[in-house]
C-alpha cells in the first residue's frame, strides 16, 4: 500500500505486517503515525486473505517508545481527546477479528508498552525492554495502559510498573505474562513466522469468536479509557505535565514538586 510516510505495510501469505518506520525517533508515534496505523489495521483487519497481523518497529533499537515527545509542545498534532487518536488505535487492534502479534524488537516504552498490552500475543527478542514512563514525563495512559495491563500481569505488578517507572528485560516480561515467548534476536522473525503459520492452519471464524469473547470480558475498559483521556486533556494543560515533557527534551530530571500544582 502506498501513501504512508510513518509506517510500512505489506501483506502476503496470509500475514499482514505493519511496521512503525520512525527509527530515528525510536519509533515514537505522532498524530500522523496513529492515523496511518489505524488505516493499515482497518485494511488488514477486513482483508479476507489476511489471517494474522504482525505489528513491529523498524530497526533493532525500538518496537515503539510511545508518544513523540518532540511533537508534544502543549498539544499533539492529530485529532483525538488529547490531540492524538491513541484510543482509536488501541481499540482498532482489539476490534480486528484476527490475532495481532507484537513482534518486539527493542524498547517497548510508554505508549509502546500499551500497544504490546493491547495486542493479542507478543513475541520478544532477548534484547527487548519494557516499561511505562508516564509519571516521569507528566503523562499516563488511563485505560488499557493501566486496567488491561493489570489483567495481563496482575494488579500489584501493574501498579509497580506505573508507580516506579522501571524498565524490565524480556525475560522478566515473559515471567509476568506480558509476552508469550522470548527468543534470540536472530531468531525473532522465524519464531513469529512459526506462530503465524500455526494460526493460519486453524479455523479463522473460531479464532475470531474467541478474540471477541476475550474482548467482551474487558470491554468496559474502553469506557474507562474515554473518561481517562478526557481527564488527561486537562492534565496536559498543567505546569506539572509540561515540566515532564520539557525535562525529557532538555535531558534533565523533572522538578514536578516545584511547579505548584
Ligand X SMILES: CC(C)(COP(=O)(O)OP(=O)(O)OC[C@H]1O[C@@H](n2cnc3c(N)ncnc32)[C@H](O)[C@@H]1OP(=O)(O)O)[C@@H](O)C(=O)NCCC(=O)NCCSC(=O)c1cc(O)c2ccccc2c1O
Annotated binding-site positions:
65-69, 76, 107-111, 139, 236, 251
Contacts for 259 with CB less than 8 Å, ≥ 6 apart: 238, 239, 240, 243
Q: Which is nearer to ligand X, 52 or 55 (CB)?
A: 55
Phi and psi for 130 in degrees, rounded to 5? -125, 155
Q: Which is nearer to ligand X, 180 or 248 (CB)?
A: 248
Report in angstroms the alpha-carbon separations of 93 from 3, 39, 41: 21, 11, 7
**Considering the rule CB under 6 A, would residue 86 count as an interface residue with ligand X?**
yes
Could you tell me the smallest distance in angstroms from the CB atom of residue 219 to ligand X? 18
Binding residues for substrate: 65-69, 76, 107-111, 139, 236, 251
CA–CA dist 196, 200 (Å, integer): 6
**Considering the rule CB under 6 A, would residue 225 count as an interface residue with ligand X?**
no
Q: To 5 degrees, how large is the angle CA 183–CA 185–CA 186?
A: 105
Residue from 56, 65, 105, 241 binding ligand X (CB under 6 A): 65
Q: Which is nearer to ligand X, 51 or 228 (CB)?
A: 228
Handedness of CA 89, 19, 109, 239 (dihedral sign): negative
Q: Are 86 and 111 in contact (CB under 8 A)?
A: yes
Q: Are 124 and 181 in contact (CB under 8 A)?
A: yes
Could you tell me the smallest distance in angstroms from the CB atom of residue 98 to ligand X? 23
Question: Which grid cell is 83?
Answer: 490531540
Contacts for 76 with CB less than 8 Å, ≥ 6 apart: 30, 31, 67, 82, 83, 84
**Considering the rule CB under 6 A, would residue 69 count as an interface residue with ligand X?**
yes
**Considering the rule CB under 6 A, would residue 20 count as an interface residue with ligand X?**
no
Name the 3-class secondary structure at 84: coil
Q: Which is nearer to ligand X, 108 or 196 (CB)?
A: 108
12 sits in which H/E element: strand 7-12
Q: What is the DSSP letter of 192?
A: H
Residue from 31, 78, 99, 134 binding ligand X (CB under 6 A): 134
Find the part of the chain contacting ligand X (CB under 6 A) among 65-73, 116-124, 180-188, 219-227: 65-73
**Considering the rule CB under 6 A, would residue 67 count as an interface residue with ligand X?**
yes
Residue from 70, 220, 230, 238 binding ligand X (CB under 6 A): 70
Q: Which is nearer to ligand X, 19 or 51 (CB)?
A: 19
Q: Which is nearer to ligand X, 220 or 231 (CB)?
A: 231
**Considering the rule CB under 6 A, would residue 105 count as an interface residue with ligand X?**
no
Binding site for ligand X (CB under 6 A): 25-26, 28, 65-70, 82, 84, 86, 107, 109-111, 114, 133-134, 137, 139, 141, 145, 248
Amino acid at each position: 500500500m502506498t501513501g504512508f510516510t510513518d509506517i510500512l505495510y505489506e501483506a502476503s501469505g496470509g500475514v499482514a505486517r505493519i511496521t512503525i518506520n520512525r527509527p530515528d525517533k525510536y519509533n515514537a508515534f505522532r498524530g500522523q503515525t496513529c492515523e496511518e496505523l489505524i488505516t493499515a489495521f482497518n485494511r488488514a483487519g477486513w482483508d479476507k486473505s489476511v489471517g494474522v497481523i504482525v505489528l513491529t518497529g523498524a530497526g533493532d533499537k525500538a518496537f515503539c517508545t510511545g508518544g513523540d515527545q518532540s511533537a508534544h509542545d502543549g498539544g499533539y498534532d492529530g485529532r483525538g481527546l488529547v490531540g492524538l487518536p491513541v484510543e482509536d488505535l488501541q481499540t482498532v487492534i482489539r476490534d480486528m477479528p484476527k490475532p495481532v502479534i507484537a513482534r518486539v524488537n527493542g524498547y517497548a516504552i510508554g505508549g509502546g508498552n500499551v500497544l504490546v498490552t493491547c495486542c493479542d500475543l507478543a513475541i520478544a527478542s532477548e534484547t527487548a525492554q519494557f516499561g511505562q514512563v508516564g509519571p516521569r514525563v507528566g503523562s499516563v495512559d488511563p485505560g488499557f495502559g493501566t486496567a488491561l495491563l493489570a489483567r495481563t500481569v496482575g494488579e500489584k505488578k501493574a501498579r509497580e510498573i506505573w508507580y516506579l517507572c522501571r524498565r524490565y528485560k524480556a525475560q522478566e516480561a515473559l515471567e509476568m505474562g506480558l509476552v508469550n515467548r522470548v527468543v534470540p534476536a536472530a531468531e525473532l522473525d522465524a519464531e513469529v513466522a512459526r506462530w503465524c503459520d500455526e494460526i493460519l492452519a486453524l479455523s479463522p471464524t473460531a479464532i475470531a469468536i474467541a478474540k471477541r469473547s476475550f474482548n467482551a470480558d474487558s470491554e468496559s475498559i474502553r469506557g474507562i479509557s474515554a473518561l481517562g483521556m478526557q481527564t488527561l486533556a486537562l492534565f496536559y494543560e498543567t505546569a506539572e505535565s509540561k515540566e515532564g515533557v520539557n525535562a525529557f527534551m532538555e535531558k534533565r530530571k523533572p522538578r514536578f514538586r516545584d511547579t505548584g500544582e
